[in-house]
Structure 1
Amino acid sequence: MVKHDFKVETKWQGGRDKVGTVKGDIIESQISIPSSLGGKGIGTNPDEMLVSAASSCYIISLAATLERAGYTDIQIHQQSIGTASFENGKFQMERITHYPEIHVNEANKENLEKRLSKLLEIADRNCMISNSIRNNVEVDIEPTIL
Structure 2
Amino acid sequence: MARHEFRLTADWNGGRNGEGTITAGNLQTKISIPSEMKGPGIGTNPDEMLIGAAATCYLITLAAMLERKSIPVVSLTLETVGVVSVNKNGLQFESVTHYPHVVLGAEATAKHRKDAESFTEAAEKSCMISNALRGNVDLSVQATVNRES
- What TM-score, normalized by structure 1, do the two folds share? 0.92
- Which residue does 2:23 correspond to in 1? 23
CA displacement 1:75-118 (0-9 Å, x = unmatched)? 21100000111112321111101111101112215323322443
CA contact (8 A) 2:55 2:80 kept: yes
Q: What are the ranges of 5 or more consecutive residues in structure 1 without an aligned counterpart? A: none
Work out the number of aligned pairs and report it.
146
- Could you say what secondary structure the match of 2:95 adopts? strand
Is 2:126 the partner of 1:118?
no
Q: 1:5 to 1:121 in 2, by over 3 A?
A: same
More strand by share: 2
Is 2:145 the partner of 1:137?
no
CA displacement 1:44-83 (0-9 Å, x = unmatched)? 0000000000000000000001111221444211000001
Is 2:92 the partner of 1:84?
no
* Greater CA drift, 4-13 or 57-66: 4-13
CA contact (8 A) 2:66 2:116 kept: no
- Could you say what secondary structure the match of 1:125 adopts? helix
Is 2:13 the partner of 1:6?
no
- Could you say what secondary structure the match of 2:82 adopts? strand
* Greater CA drift, 118-127 or 62-71: 118-127
Q: What are the ranges of 5 or more consecutive residues in structure 2 without an aligned counterpart? A: none
Q: 1:16 to 1:74 in 2, by over 3 A?
A: same
Is 2:107 the partner of 1:107?
yes
Superposition RMSD in Å: 1.5
- Which residue does 1:48 correspond to in 2? 48
Q: Once the two structures are aligned, what percentage of the paired residues are identical?
A: 38
* Greater CA drift, 16-25 or 64-73: 64-73
- What TM-score, normalized by structure 2, do the two folds share? 0.91
- Could you say what secondary structure the match of 1:3 adopts? coil
* Greater CA drift, 106-115 or 47-56: 106-115
